[in-house]
Chain A
């Protein structure tokens, strides 16, 4: 049996839940067709999550590519199809990337080992200064800290996921809530073991009365818990939290059936701090959003 999964017109972190609502009930070895023909836009989160989705399936899925040429071309420029070709049976005409996309700070990039993180850091440093300081009016200090945050969230894949994942970085206009303000977004997605299973693998792990994906996210993100005994562990995400707080940004992490969000002090986002009982999706999907500074 083959099930068609409809991809929403606008594919970002919230609307990706519609994809997962369709996929989660299906056996992992059931063939799926991911139908993105009517997609008009995808955020870095949407693109990286689509790749993680394919990785999570036992049977190689089929991908119907977006019909709109500008959308297909944009996905090409983001290097999405380059990676998707190895994970999906691609059906439809893929428009080649002709123009350079200046809003893209980092195309969809595979992360599976420490060297990949070095490559990402080297690459982003060259592009981040202009994008963050000139285009988003942020203080020059942000460039290094932004790169540090990117490095830390990528390392989570290498250290905890148990398999490879994806990262992408882009600036775009956040029309939904910011009234047209620009943002820079880091998206990282993997289909690995996720936060709960990672903590459960700690030798000293003791199951609590209430123990689920939400609890695991709270322990890790808010209290710096780690599966390692080494007291130096768990500082990376704490640093990312500080970074996001200092720049009025937002951090959200989805793992398993829960999503936790560190919300901005400003009023540009009205998300829930913790969402539970979401459709199951393996691994972890991280999004960091930093808004432009307005006078």
Chain B
């Protein structure tokens, strides 16, 4: 199931009808809380689009609360809150500096989708992880063998890399391999990804 969360609407709903800028930590915390309540309603496994298109300014405090703290809850390798994947849309030049700063601070990465549908990774990600993600993204659905063949990595190393990407919620585990977050939203979601 693919859900769409308009961050600007969350801001108006949780803080003030008149605000369009995401500034201050209390504002960020309130918006994140609203997003979490939405996520609580959508089940155990889902892909959620977090849409910044209508957000004016995003400062560091809000980026930390809304982006970093949200991701941290769902990428925990020990006990992730649920299997939720995020695709970030509408990230403009006005937002990217703050988002990159908080991703770097927490060593996080996310998938962002541009208006033309192209997806790319933002944040801290190793070269092998990035290469593997790009291969899966190009393939649509890819298995360990597909990636190993194209990267020259051993099967074990490839498996570990893909598993890491899945734990970081940058790849979705499907029945016959992996799907890159972002490619799953073009067209319909893979059949295994249901609420």
Residues of A within 8 A of B (CB): 114-115, 117-118, 121-122, 125, 141, 144-145, 147-148, 151-152, 155, 158-159, 231-233, 235-236, 238-239, 242
Contact = CB atoms under 8 A, between A and B. Distances in A.
Q: Which 4 A-B pairs have the closest CB atoms?
A: A232-B64, A144-B94, A114-B24, A235-B60
A152 B59 contact: yes
Contact of A121 (B23, B61, B94, B105): B23
Given A122-B21, A145-B97, A155 B61 contact: yes
A152 B60 contact: yes
B57 to A, nearest CB: 6
Given A118-B16, A121-B21, 18 more contacts: A115-B16, A118-B23, A125-B21, A125-B57, A144-B57, A144-B94, A147-B57, A148-B57, A148-B60, A151-B57, A155-B59, A158-B24, A231-B106, A232-B65, A232-B68, A233-B64, A235-B101, A235-B102
B20 to A, nearest CB: 8
Query: Which of B23, B101, B105 has the most chain A CB within a 10 Å cutoff?
Result: B23
A125 B56 contact: yes
Nearest to A117: B24
B105 A151 contact: no
Contacts of B16: 115, 118
B105 A235 contact: yes
Contacts of A148: 23, 57, 59-60, 97-98
B101 A232 contact: no
A121 B26 CA distance: 15
The prevalent SS among residues of A at the interface is helix
8 contacts: A114-B26, A144-B93, A147-B57, A231-B105, A232-B105, A235-B64, A239-B101, A242-B97
Nearest to A158: B24
Contacts of B120: none
A202 B16 CA distance: 32
B54 to A, nearest CB: 15
Contacts of B102: 232, 235
B24 A118 contact: yes
Given A145-B97, A235-B105, A238-B101, A155 B57 contact: no
Contacts of B93: 141, 144
A159 B60 contact: no
A223 to B, nearest CB: 13
A236 B59 CA distance: 8
B10 to A, nearest CB: 15
B27 interface: yes
Contacts of B26: 114
Query: Which of A114, A121, A232, A239 has the most chain B CB within a 10 Å cutoff?
Result: A232
A232 B73 CA distance: 14
Contacts of A145: 97
Contact of B61 (A115, A122, A144, A152): A152
A76 B106 CA distance: 46
A151 B24 CA distance: 7
Nearest to A147: B57
A293 B157 CA distance: 51
A233 B57 CA distance: 19
A231 B108 CA distance: 13
B23 A239 contact: no
Interface in B56-107: 56-57, 59-61, 64-65, 68-69, 93-94, 97-98, 101-102, 105-106
Query: Which of B60, B69, B105 has the most chain A CB within a 10 Å cutoff?
Result: B60
A151 B63 CA distance: 13
B64 A155 contact: no
